[in-house]
Copies of this chain bind each other. A is one copy, B any other.
Amino acid sequence: MTSSDSENSTRQRLLDAAGECFAQHGFHGAPVREISQRADANVAAINYHFGDKYKLYESVLLEAINYAEDRFSALRQQADTLDVAQRLHGFISSLLIGGLDPARPEWHCKLLCMEMADPGPALETLFTKSLSGRFGMLRQIVSELLDPPADDTEITLHACSVLGQTLFYLRSRQMLPKMLPGFKLDMNGLETLTAHIARFSLAAIEERNRRISRPDG
């Protein structure tokens, strides 16, 4: 067992500490000194392992985005065995539970939301590496649900409706206690949300399908 173990190496401790600090104070508001102290490491260790503060920030973002990627990989592999409604449910669930899973460090979700609200150079990587693929997956699901078939714009609008409902909880998480007092975001609550979003969206789409296929205008 060498010191490069990914478990508790200086590098890994820095990543975790940085995640917390960046999520708490933002990139500019988080001093590298505080990060290194929380990681029980030297200030110079950051530059040694990551080059500079921003490269550390990028690495932290990657760490956060990768965490939930497993769920989507699994979903992709099960695509053939699940019907389209199940895949919609799976997508929403992956995003929502993958994002708010109480087992996941809180800062993952917040940091990603902050980066999306104020995108920097790092977002490019996140996008090409993960976000764009996820959105394509959702568009595929939605396009299968829309019958009679929809044009590109309509698919996009429906995909955004599903995505918007889901991301709302991730992006509003900081405000949820204030907005929805009494609502608990435990596993149970998350499944309630998932079920609602799926049912709400499927209902809207079914209604749309019925309307379009009706003979009159």
Q: Which residues of B contact A180 (CB under 8 A)?
A: 156, 160
The contact string, 1 if C-beta is below 8 Å from chain B, for chain A 114-153, is 1011110001000100011001000000000000000001
Q: Which residues of B contact A207 (CB under 8 A)?
A: 203-204, 206-207
- What class of interface size applies to chain A in its complex with B? 35 or more
The contact string, 1 if C-beta is below 8 Å from chain B, for chain A 164-197, is 1111110110110011100100000000110011
If A27-B29, A110-B117, A203-B203 touch, does A165 touch B160 (CB 8 Å cutoff)?
yes
Q: Are B26 and A127 in contact (CB under 8 A)?
A: no
Bound Cα distance A114, B115 (Å): 9
Q: Are B26 and A174 in contact (CB under 8 A)?
A: no
Bound Cα distance A204, B192 (Å): 17
Bound Cα distance A118, B119 (Å): 14
Write the chain B residue with the least CB distance to A119: B174
Q: Are A175 and B127 in contact (CB under 8 A)?
A: yes
Q: A26-B118, A160-B169 are in contact. List 14 more A-B contacts (CB 8 A).
A: A110-B117, A110-B118, A116-B175, A127-B178, A160-B180, A161-B196, A161-B200, A163-B168, A164-B168, A164-B169, A165-B165, A200-B204, A200-B208, A203-B211
Residues of A within 8 A of B (CB): 25-29, 110, 113-114, 116-119, 123, 127, 131-132, 135, 153, 156-158, 160-161, 163-169, 171-172, 174-175, 178-180, 183, 192-193, 196-197, 199-201, 203-204, 206-208, 211
